[in-house]
Chains A and B, each alone.
Chain A
Amino acid sequence: MSQLTRRELLKSAATAGAAAALAPALGGSAGAQTTPKRELVVAQGGDIGKLDPHFSTSSNDIRWSFNLFDNLTSRHPDGKLHPGLATEWKLSAPSTWTFKLRAGVKYHNGDPFSSADAKFSIERTYDPNVKTMVATALSTIDRIEAPDATTLVVHTKKPDPLLPARLAFYGGQIVPKKYVESVGNDAFNARPVGTGPVRYVSWTKDDKLVCEANPDYWGGKVDFDRLIMRSIPETAPRIASLLKGEVDVITQLPADQGERVAGNATTRVAGALYAGLYVMAVNSKRPPLDNPLVKQALSHAIDREAIVKELWRGRGVVPSGPIAKGDNHFDPSLPPLAYNPSAARDLLRKAGYKNEEIVIETTVAYLSNDKQMSEAIQGMWRDAGINAKVEVIEYSVRAQKNREKSFKGIFWSDPTSTLGDPDGMMWRLLGPGGPQDYWRHPRFDELGNAARFSVDEKFRGEAYREMTKIFLEHFPWVPVIQPYEDYGLQKYVEFTPNPNQQFEIRRFNFKFKRA
């Protein structure tokens, strides 16, 4: 409720005098599309907690830790894996990956980077004595060898086709062995040292983190001298600070606020399609949701185009199945999920649906627009003859129901594709024993398991195609939207964001426009 009033307030204030408001505020710099700035100021929506990258997976922390540190592999804004501290990698046996490492790289403190650091860093993530928060991120690894300074050989317990992808995400940040061992974990957390494009200068908690550019970065020096990460938790002041020109980039721009930023003379919106989907997950054990025909009807009765257009102001796409656009094995030939209320009615008749109540349990603003979408969909379902009810639950209740698997019917989920691959998304969540295991299908399970341990991408592609077909008959999730994650930028900032909140700022994707 308070969320609504805030938004309403902002909206009315914006319409009241957006144009008039901005002209004096911007003064002489009005209309500046170039800048002489050497300092980049970024405002994000939450505070940074830890500087040691192996102790946090929170998006507020990884937004800067992927800039202070490098991974062996790097996922670029194009969604593909590119060289990081490793220049090339190949499968040398079914369960063995061999990485060729970059030579001549130095840490911010001058120490040289070598394969010993990579081995130490990866082993540190699952070392029971260190007690990191990413102990399971790289747990497919059996042992690691470092035969020479620029070669790393990683043996996995079973064939792991996704190891290079795992190394690009959290847990994969490479820390300096010598420094960490000599100062200890606490001192490392207080003064982190990495190989990335920026190095640590100072941090005032909940206020700002200051970094400076690493002039010797192997990927080329970034186009600024200093980077300041501020945290402005409330959306309205965060947007105000951008419009006023106090900051250069803001993160977490809600879809319904985009027009404010885009409509302003000096700012613009840049987004990356979320690496994942917003879905209505289904407790398929509860009748009538155990009947696939009913779930097909639920999907047919949702006008997703209207949801994208009205609730998301066009900042999203309609999904075609369980695989997010941009992931491995996404099938572009598949049509977006269709809106067909008459087909829904036929399916309900065929299913013998007797107006049983279907409960949508929604949180408020745990996902953007969750309650609004629930109410819109409830209305669409009612028009198609489905008796749905919306119940609002607290976030902590949702967490408990999630753990106990006790949802009454439908609940919101935002499955993230952690590896850019269906294995890290639908199989991780929907697989046997997974967090959303409410439905089993022998063929689906057989294929999901085989694809997880296969290093034959052609086979994996076929497996996921068939799994998608089964999925679209049974709808263990009813996918609703793949939204954009938007940033607000000054027009003099040229930046292409990553699809997975990593917020990597590199020479190739960031530039200040100069006069």
Chain B
Amino acid sequence: MEKIPIMKISNSLLVTIQVDMNDSLAQELQDDLSDRIVQTRATGVLIEISALDIIDSFIGRMLGNITAISRLLGADTVVVGMRPAVAITLVELGLPLSGIRTALNVERGLAMIQPSMDAKEGDGRGPV
């Protein structure tokens, strides 16, 4: 059974979706991720979807839900690496995922959640 890996990097979690998403996998990710956020008290979540080239309305909605849940649990969430075709499909499906933060790649996504990480860690630099 496939499973989507969730990696912890300092105070944030990195979710890389490397396989074709199906409905049960998405459901499982939702459960796993919410558990892990609470467990690790992560302050940032990056969902990397550059390997995802087909998306349907269910997966699109799940992506929105997962992001909203992570935010509710207090983690700054950014969806990164979306492909052009996937972006067009989501917009055509009427799921522009408004209110979700997005970035082109992991590097930029990390830069976006960095301020909150710095603030939580209290390393003296403070939020930029």
Q: Are A and B subunits of one complex?
A: no
Report which B residues bind A (CB closer than 8 A). none
